[in-house]
Amino acid sequence: MIGVGRSNNPDPWEAGAEAAGRAADMLSHAEVPAWALLFCGGKHDPAAVLTGLRRAVGPLPVVGGSAAGAVTSAGFGYSGFEVAVGLFPVSLGIPEILVDGGLLDGEVATGRRLGDGLRGIADDDRVVMLFYDSVAATSPPRLHPASLLIEGIYEGLGTCHPHLIGAGTLTDINLSDGYVFDGTRPRKHAAVAIVLPMGITAETAILHGCVPVSSFMTITSIDGAEVFELDGRPALDVLETMLGIDTVDDDGRALSLMVTLGEKHGDPFAEYDENRYVNRLILQVAADRRSITLFEPDFRSGSIVQIMSRDNGLRLCLGTTD
């Protein structure tokens, strides 16, 4: 059994201690914690939270990172003060932890080094958790793309096929910062891969909760993650017209929270199926170029996309029927 605890105490030391203590209380007296998974809200000092956690449960290896909020069975929140801890007992085994701090020098190269290291220790279907610092720079906003990191990892893995899961880390939805815990401390511009013990398995599902609100459009001009044209028209003009909004006053922040661009895989005329869509959030808009920049650079000229809107009712429906 894994112990899970959370806290929203504004004092980082106390928040770390409280969350870790509550997680430890869920373990039986015979179970000794071996390592911890830790996520911190962006208003906390991560080093102080880590100190509080270790005062409560000892000098364990700690992985995880920053988060805009936290969800556990005991509650949820995104105030920035949330701390969530998962304690894994010795009885489940000890993971292998690989760290690479070279994201600023190249995401593909970082991934390739991690994949090469994983190839020797991660068997096929072995669960590997990957966390990486999402924020490369803040002014202007620039991310470490997951698609490039994953591309490198699979190059390094070769014919090995572990079950890879995980996420990029952010301190808040404004992309103010990000970091990961590498087993010992918080790190910037780093990626950490955790090879879980053989007895731990994982199930994954696509749960983006977005539905199409436009017809199909073709990306006719794009450079990396910056989309200049949809169907031969300026991309920002297309979105503003279709959605009936003006992005001038908020630098496109409303657009980032409202919609994504989605690419449907398989039969384009098949009924809606959440699993068929790859969605990309909008990072920023450029009013002078009338362009939008996506979170990932994996769409291409000629990609067929739709404007996608979040549907909270769909998420609720899926949550109650699972």
Is residue 161 domain-shared with residue 241, that is, in the same domain? no
Is residue 114 domain-shared with residue 243, that is, in the same domain? no
| Of 23, 19, 204, residue with least CA distance to 128 | 204
**Cα 128-84-254 angle, rounded to 5 deg:** 90
Handedness of CA 274, 280, 284, 290 (dihedral sign): negative
pLDDT on residue 184: 97
Q: Point out the domain boundary residue: 152, 170, 195.
A: 195
- The number of CA neighbours under 13 Å toward the Cβ of 234 is 11
Is residue 219 domain-shared with residue 184, that is, in the same domain? no
pLDDT on residue 117: 97
- What is d(CA 184, CA 30) in angstroms, rounded to the nearest whole number? 25
Handedness of CA 40, 46, 48, 53 (dihedral sign): positive
Is residue 10 domain-shared with residue 122, that is, in the same domain? yes
b/e code 120-134 from CB counts within 10 Å (16+ = b) = eebeeebbbbbbbbb
3-state DSSP assignment of residue 122: coil
What are the phi and psi torsion angles at 66 (to 5°)? Answer: -75, 155
**Which tens digit of pLDDT belongs to each residue from 139-163?**
888 899 999 999 999 999 999 999 9
Asked if the structure places residue 235 within a domain, the reply is yes
Is residue 178 domain-shared with residue 258, that is, in the same domain? no
Asked if the structure places residue 200 within a domain, the reply is no
Residue ranges of the chain whose pLDDT lies below 50: 315-322
Is residue 254 domain-shared with residue 129, that is, in the same domain? no
Is residue 297 domain-shared with residue 174, that is, in the same domain? no
Asked if the structure places residue 204 within a domain, the reply is no
Asked if the structure places residue 77 within a domain, the reply is yes
| Of 281, 285, 283, 278, residue with least CA distance to 304 | 278
- Structural domain including 55 reads 3-195
- What is d(CA 197, CA 292) in angstroms, rounded to the nearest whole number? 42
Is residue 260 domain-shared with residue 189, that is, in the same domain? no
- What is d(CA 41, CA 20) in angstroms, rounded to the nearest whole number? 15
pLDDT on residue 235: 96
Maximum distance among all Cα pairs of the chain, rounded to whole angstroms? 65
Is residue 224 domain-shared with residue 183, that is, in the same domain? no
Q: Point out the domain boundary residue: 144, 162, 195.
A: 195
Asked if the structure places residue 205 within a domain, the reply is no
Asked if the structure places residue 201 within a domain, the reply is no
Handedness of CA 232, 289, 294, 143 (dihedral sign): positive
* Domains identified in the chain, total number: 2
- Give 193-262 as a DSSP string: EEE--TT----------EEE-S--EEEEEEETTEEEEETTEEHHHHHHHHHT---TTTTTHHHHHHEEEE
Is residue 317 domain-shared with residue 238, that is, in the same domain? yes
Residue with tokens 């910062």: 177
Asked if the structure places residue 215 within a domain, the reply is yes
Q: What is this structure's pTM?
A: 0.87
Is residue 62 domain-shared with residue 98, that is, in the same domain? yes
Is residue 216 domain-shared with residue 160, that is, in the same domain? no
Q: Point out the domain boundary residue: 169, 195, 221.
A: 195
